[in-house]
């Protein structure tokens, strides 16, 4: 059982930045068009323009706020169109 003194603690905030390494492989499909996807971690890192991952946690008494965000921007020189396959 919680007592009222458990809710009387001082508020605190914690911020964390972190790194997550991944690779992507598989298939993607849009209607009747299927394409293979195979991107290793080094491929993604080569095309990486900007990335950010972080977490913030704020607690005050019995209340908590936790937020987690991941942002990744990658670009590639190649492009493809699938309009001809969608008709």
* pLDDT one-digit tens code per residue, 60-87: 988 999 999 999 888 877 766 666 556 5
Q: Please indicate, yes or no, if residue 16 is contained in any of the structural domains.
A: yes
Using CA atoms, how far apart are residues 19 and 42, in angstroms rounded to an integer? Answer: 14
Q: Please indicate, yes or no, if residue 82 is contained in any of the structural domains.
A: no
- Kindly provide the residue ranges of all beta strands, DSSP E only, lying in 10-62, ordered along the sequence: 12-17, 24-30, 33-39, 48-60
Using CA atoms, how far apart are residues 74 and 48, in angstroms rounded to an integer? Answer: 5
Q: Please indicate, yes or no, if residue 33 is contained in any of the structural domains.
A: yes
Q: Please indicate, yes or no, if residue 80 is contained in any of the structural domains.
A: no
Q: Please indicate, yes or no, if residue 9 is contained in any of the structural domains.
A: yes
For residue 3, what are its two tokens? 């007592």
**pTM for the full predicted model:** 0.54
**Total domains present in the chain:** 1
pLDDT digits (tens, 9 = 90+) for 15-67: 999 888 888 899 988 888 888 889 899 988 888 888 889 999 999 988 999 99
Range of the domain at 13: 4-75
What pLDDT shows up at residue 8?
Answer: 56
Q: Please indicate, yes or no, if residue 18 is contained in any of the structural domains.
A: yes
């Amino acid at each position: 059982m919680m007592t009222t003194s458990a809710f009387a603690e001082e508020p605190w905030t914690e911020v964390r930045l972190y790194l997550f390494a991944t690779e992507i492989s598989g298939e993607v499909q849009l209607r009747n068009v299927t394409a293979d996807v195979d991107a290793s971690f080094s491929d993604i890192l080569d095309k990486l323009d900007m990335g950010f991952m972080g977490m913030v946690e704020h607690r005050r008494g019995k209340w908590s706020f936790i937020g987690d965000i991941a942002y990744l921007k990658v670009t590639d020189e190649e492009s493809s169109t699938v309009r001809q396959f969608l008709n």
